[in-house]
Amino acid sequence: MKPSIWRPLLVTALLIFLFDLFYGNFMKQASERGTEITYTRFRDELANNNVKRVSIRGGFLKGEFNAPVSLPPPGDAKAAPTPTTYFTAYIPAIGDSTLMPELNSRRVDVTAVPTDGTGFTNLILYLLPWVLIIGIWWFIMRGMRSQGPGAIMGGFARSGAKSYTSELINVTFSDVAGLEEAKQELREVIDYLKDPKKFQQIGGKVPKGILLVGPPGTGKTLLARAVAGEAGVSFFSISASQFIEMFVGVGASRVRDLFSSARKAVPSIIFIDELDAVGRSRGAGFGGGHDEREQTLNQLLSEMDGFDPHEEVVVMAATNRPDVLDPALLRPGRFDRNVVIERPDWRDREKILKVHTRKIPLSADVDLAVIAKGTPGMTGADLEGLVNEGAIIAARENQTVVGLQHLERAKDKILMGGERHMVISDDEKRITAYHEAGHALVAKLLPSTDPVHKVTILPRGRALGVTQQLPEDDRYHYPRTHLMNRLAVALGGRVAEKAMFNDVSTGAQSDLKMVTELAEKMVCQWGMSERIGAMTFPRGEEHPFLGMKLAEEKTFSEEMAWQIDQEIAGLIRSAEEKAKELIYTNRAKLDALATALLEEETLDGRRVDEVLAAAP
């Protein structure tokens, strides 16, 4: 919710109410315990010896009759008279010099109340609310000025309040399950923060900006906190969406504020969550708030450039959209290091479950490995939720320990309830396993292909699974056979699906795209088609800098265009034949790989070799 003009208004209204209460009360008190009578009436009663005592304060007089007098009740002259003992009256401003002698002679008990003090009290009571009102307005105005012009509407709520948190952390790497590679990469940061001087002497390159990249809930924030905890330094964190307010200037001043606080607390870590909220490419924004975002981003860039090498501040940021970030953020000296955080595989999921069940009593039937294997695609946050949900279900049934069935039900609830989660059904998992096994198998069986580095059925980005091949060394020249084999590998996924399920799925789309593009290049750029020969065509050409396809211009005949299409299709067809032949003659190996994938989710190159060697 945005603080608004309502707040000051509300405060003012409250003050006026208080003022009224005070002032009104005072006036009421003045006439309290007495019916107001005229001065003449008072003198009459006095003359009748009916006044017992009076107290005089300035021109105001309070008193008590000896015998009750019938008078209309206070404030209502027309009502029926009631017997009255106490009265008040005002002495005429011109004074009455005969009053005191008369009171004395009638032996009336007289009390005099000093007017001086009361007058002063009156004044204070009268002025106090106004002083408060003016004071609060001044406070608001000051808040606005210190926060830039943008704060005009919301100054009151924010003045003095910090939008970031700073703390000393007691989270360590032992609280972060798995993520071994990421931890390894961050060790250097910890070494640096622990002893900057020593680190520099050894000659380490000072880490300044580190970008944690990974899907939501995979523990980026947790990891950043653990780095601070391991190094024992202060941790300043903010979510970048908090930088962006409706008003220009607020974000930039918050960035400045954040960095200057962190600089005062060195060594320290600044953590910016959801970096993409401010870090989107400049000029790519739309509509309002765009200038504000750009200003905030510029401020962030200039703060990072402003670090001198001896300032012991490390900036960490998290995003799940590295692709939209402004390239300026990724330049050397800024976020020039990426730490990629992946969805956990089942072994890591088991470790995460262990961390989150540390304080929860589990019944003997719970095997966390089984639950870990049954939750592919879930992140650390999902698993934490699963454990909590399981505990709630158990508590609702008045159980003292959490059992397997509670966790299973929690899992079903989460899987059914959330679009947020990448839910993978068992069928999908099987299709993906065969698809990836197909790629891997063809790659292994064909000579002259890049070695298989890793095969996984864990979702990554939009892909349900990945088969990674890494070239052994940098290559610039690819022979035709190598490219043909590459086409066959790319088609292996689809062919394997067909072999197993006699059907194909949409999962092969990006494979087909890659295949088409590669075949097009082979024919049109590299002259690898016999029928067409050593000619190049402006097709499949890429702009050298932008990586974009150039607009097609036709400098060749219809006839040639048709032939080119035939050739491209021909290359693809023969690659597909190759893949089919390999897969159909090695069905047992395909099954073995797919089974291993379903079991282990991720296979590295060595494991792929083992599985294939063991298969008939």
Ligand X SMILES: Nc1ncnc2c1ncn2[C@@H]1O[C@H](COP(=O)(O)OP(=O)(O)OP(=O)(O)O)[C@@H](O)[C@H]1O
Active site residues: 436
Instruction: Compute CA distances 74 → 24, 52, 56, 67, 397, whole Å.
Output: 16, 20, 20, 18, 67
179 binds ligand X (CB under 6 A): yes
DSSP 553: -
Q: Which residue is nearest to Zn ion (CB)?
A: 493
- 222 belongs to the binding site for ligand X (CB under 6 A): yes
Give which of ligand X, Zn ion, none residue 493 binds (C-beta under 5 to 8 Å, depending on kind): Zn ion
> In the complex, what is the shortest distance from the CB of residue 439 to Zn ion, in angstroms, rounded to a whole number?
6
| Nearer residue to ligand X within complex by CB, 375 or 485 | 375
Query: How many whole angstroms separate alpha carbon 322 and alpha carbon 214?
Result: 9
Site string for ligand X, 505-544 (x = CB under 6 A): ----------------------------------------
Q: What are phi and psi of 314, to 5 degrees?
A: -110, 130
Helices within 475-586 (DSSP H only): 480-501, 509-524, 558-585
Q: Sketch the per residue contact string, 301 through 340, with ligand X: x for CB under 6 A, - otherwise.
A: -----------------x-x--------------------
Return the residues of window 59-98 that contact ligand X according to CB under 6 A. none
* Closer by beta carbon to Zn ion, 297 or else 464: 464
Measured at CB, which residue is nearest to ligand X?
380
Between residues 317 and 597, which has the closer beta carbon with respect to Zn ion?
597
Structure-block tokens of residue 561: 């265009």
**Could you say whether residue 443 binds ligand X (CB under 6 A)?**
no
- Which span (249-257, 322-330, 396-404, 506-514) binds Zn ion, by CB under 5 A? 506-514
For the bound state, the minimum distance from the C-beta of residue 435 to Zn ion, rounded and expressed in Å, comes to 5
* Binding flag, residue 176, ligand X (CB under 6 A): yes
Task: Report if residue 217 touches ligand X, rule: CB under 6 A.
Answer: yes
Strand (E) or helix (H) holding 65:
strand 60-71
- The 3-state DSSP class for residue 494 equals helix
Site string for ligand X, 258-277 (x = CB under 6 A): ---------------x----
Q: Could you tell which of Zn ion, ligand X, none binds residue 217, using a CB distance below 5 to 8 A set by kind?
A: ligand X
d(CA 491, CA 512): 7
Q: Residue 173 region, left (φ>0) first, then alpha (ψ -120 to 50), else beta? A: alpha
Name which of 230 and 601 has its Cβ closer to Zn ion.
Answer: 601
Stretch that binds ligand X, among 153-161, 216-224, 240-248, 557-565 (CB under 6 A): 216-224
DSSP per-residue codes, 204-246: PPPP-EEEEE--TTSSHHHHHHHHHHHHT-EEEEEEHHHH--S
Segment near Zn ion (CB under 5 A); pick from 260-268, 468-476, 490-498, 574-582: 490-498
Q: Shortest gap between Cβ of 508 and Zn ion (angstroms)? A: 6
**DSSP E strands: which ranges in 96-214?**
109-113, 165-168, 209-213
Which listed residue (63, 74, 178, 465) binds ligand X by CB under 6 A? 178
- Residue 217 labelled as part of a binding site: yes
Which helix H or strand E contains 146, and what residues bound it?
helix 115-146
Q: Which stretch binds ligand X (CB under 6 A): 210-218, 253-261, 497-505, 525-533?
A: 210-218
- Backbone φ and ψ for 89, nearest 5 degrees, come out as -155, 160
Q: Return the ∠ at Cα 74 (arms to 63 and 103), rounded to 5°.
A: 20
Name the burial class of residue 469, with classes exposed (0-12), middle (13-18) and buried (19+) by CB atoms within 10 angstroms of its CB. Answer: middle
Give the one residue of 196, 217, 385, 493 binding Zn ion; rule: CB under 5 A. 493
- Binding segment for ligand X among 89-97, 106-114, 159-167, 220-228 (CB under 6 A)? 220-228
Residues 362-391 that bind ligand X (CB under 6 A): 380-381, 384
Distance CA 57, CA 46 (A): 18
Establish whether 214 is an annotated binding residue. yes
Closest C-alpha among 599, 219, 377, 375 to residue 390: 375
CA atoms of 39 and 72, how far apart (whole Å): 16
Q: Which of 275, 361, 258, 378 is nearest to 320 (CA)?
A: 275
The distance of closest approach from Cβ of residue 316 to Zn ion in the complex, given in angstroms and rounded to an integer, is 34
Quote the CA–CA distance of 573 and 3 in Å, as a whole number: 65
Contact 231, 189 (CB under 8 A): yes
**Under rule CB under 6 A, residue 219 binds ligand X:** yes
**Residue stretches of the annotated binding site for Zn(2+):** 435, 439, 511
**Residue stretches of the annotated binding site for ATP:** 214-221
Which residues make up the interface to Zn ion (CB under 5 A)? 493, 511
Which residues make up the interface to ligand X (CB under 6 A)? 176-179, 214, 216-222, 273, 318, 320, 352, 355, 380-381, 384
